[in-house]
Amino acid sequence: MTGDLTCGIDIGGTKIAGAVVAADGTVVAEARVESPAADPAAIGTTVAGLVADLAGGAGGRPVRAVGVGAAGYVAADRSTVLFAPNIAWRNEPLGTDLARRTGLPVVVENDANAAAWGEFRHGAGREADDQLMVTVGTGVGGGVVTGGRLLRGAHGVAAEIGHLCVVPDGLPCGCGNRGCLESYASGTALVRATRAAAIADPAAAADLLARAGGGPESITGPHVTAAAQDGDAFALARLAELGGWLGHGIASLVAVLDPAVVVVGGGVAAAGDLLLDPIRAAFDRELTGRGYRPRAAIVPAVLGNRAGVIGAADLARV
């Protein structure tokens, strides 16, 4: 482990996670606090306090910079949050504010980009130069690394993977458009589709309904995953449907980006091969030029909830 320490912060709508991270990706110290998402000034105060606590513990840790993963659109200046759907940020000068509060250089990055960078540098993509990461949780996010660099685009807001249109005029999406991948391939979509299927065929869903302890409205994503892991055919079919949509979207993205590896993370990815195998099957069916081009490996993320803070801390060095 090297002594070159930076601090990574992951700001979400419900929690703020922080860690002191060495250059080799080792987490030296970490902490988590609630996120005052409705109050930008309180977020700044909370993050500055978290950085101070992390850097000041165990006799002091010589943190030289701070990287922040923010759940929103981050401008090309790597400091301003243009917009965040679940946090009260609108053209928020987050990096400038945190640099003033902490007295340290601060780099701000989209949280999914930070997680993708963490997996690229120290996780499942560390042997590749070109990586696509897809995170499957409440929504669908991710990031793209090409030629060893994060793809940010002209305005800093590239790689909004979940808003690839897969069904023209399809289901409404929280972004305001219709037919986005997120509307079909997220944890939210899994729960919606499972509840609808349980209403249509309650006998087939009997085990899942028993687990949920109520009607179809009681079913959650973890219920589906647990039932599938125990071999329940109804739950397995729901994960297969979800995997099919993800494989469809990934095939389209790979046709454009040609990564060496696709890393799949997020809470829903805890289902492991029960989700990854249907993703791979759909990907193999739909990739353009299949059989005549190198195939991108589709692999699980390995850093878990630490990917964002590890990636953010590493980006503070770049």
Decide if 228 contacts 234 (C-beta within 8 A).
Answer: no
Distance of CA 135 to the CA centre of its chain: 4
Q: How many CA atoms lie within 13 A of 48 on its CB side?
A: 18
Q: Are 68 and 11 in contact (CB under 8 A)?
A: yes
As a whole number, mean pLDDT of residues 165-193 equals 95
Say how many CA atoms lie within 13 Å of 115 toward its Cβ: 29
Rounded to 10 degrees, what is the CA torsion of 272, 273, 278, 279? 60
Give Cα 106 to chain centroid, integer Å: 21
Cα end-to-end distance, the chain, whole Å: 18
Instruction: Indicate if the pLDDT at residue 81 is higher than 80.
Output: yes
Mean of per-residue pLDDT scores for the chain: 94
The two structure tokens encoding residue 122? 């120290």
Question: pLDDT band at residue 86, thresholds of 50, 70 and 90?
Answer: confident
Q: Which residues of 183-197 are buried (b: 16+ CB within 10 A; e: fewer)?
A: bbbbbbbbbebbbeb
Q: pTM for this structure?
A: 0.92
128-301: CATH topology: Nucleotidyltransferase; domain 5 (3.30.420)
Both tokens of 266, joined, read: 């997020």
DSSP alpha helix (H) spans, the chain:
40-56, 94-102, 111-122, 182-185, 187-200, 206-212, 221-229, 233-257, 273-286, 307-315
Q: What is the mean pLDDT of residues 254-263?
A: 97
The model's pLDDT over 265-317, given as tens digits with 9 standing for 90+, comes to 998 888 999 999 999 999 999 999 998 999 999 999 999 999 999 999 999 99
**Structure confidence at residue 45 (pLDDT):** 96
Those residues whose C-beta lies under 8 Å from the C-beta of residue 36, and which sit 6 or more positions away, are 42, 43, 46
Q: What are phi and psi of 31, to 5 degrees?
A: -160, 165
Q: What is the spatial distance between Cα 273 and Cα 260, in angstroms, rounded to a whole number?
A: 20
Given its phi and psi angles, is residue 291 left (phi above 0), alpha (psi -120 to 50 degrees) or beta?
A: left
Regarding predicted confidence, which is higher, 13 or 57?
13
Hey, where are the domains in the chain? 5-119+306-315, 128-301
What kind of architecture, by CATH, is found in domain 5-119+306-315? 2-Layer Sandwich (3.30)
Average pLDDT for 191-212:
97
| pLDDT score for 57 | 65
- What are 105's two structure tokens? 């250089």
- 1 pLDDT more than 50: no
% of the chain at pLDDT higher than 90: 87
- Among 9-13, 20-24, 107-111, 242-246, where is mean pLDDT lowest? 9-13
Cβ neighbours of residue 244 closer than 8 Å, sequence gap 6 or more: 278, 279, 281, 282
Look at the block and give the residue holding tokens 């979940």. Answer: 162
- DSSP type of residue 172: B
State the pLDDT confidence band at 58, using cuts at 50, 70 and 90. low
Please answer whether residues 233 and 203 qualify as being in contact, where contact means their C-beta atoms are separated by less than 8 angstroms: no
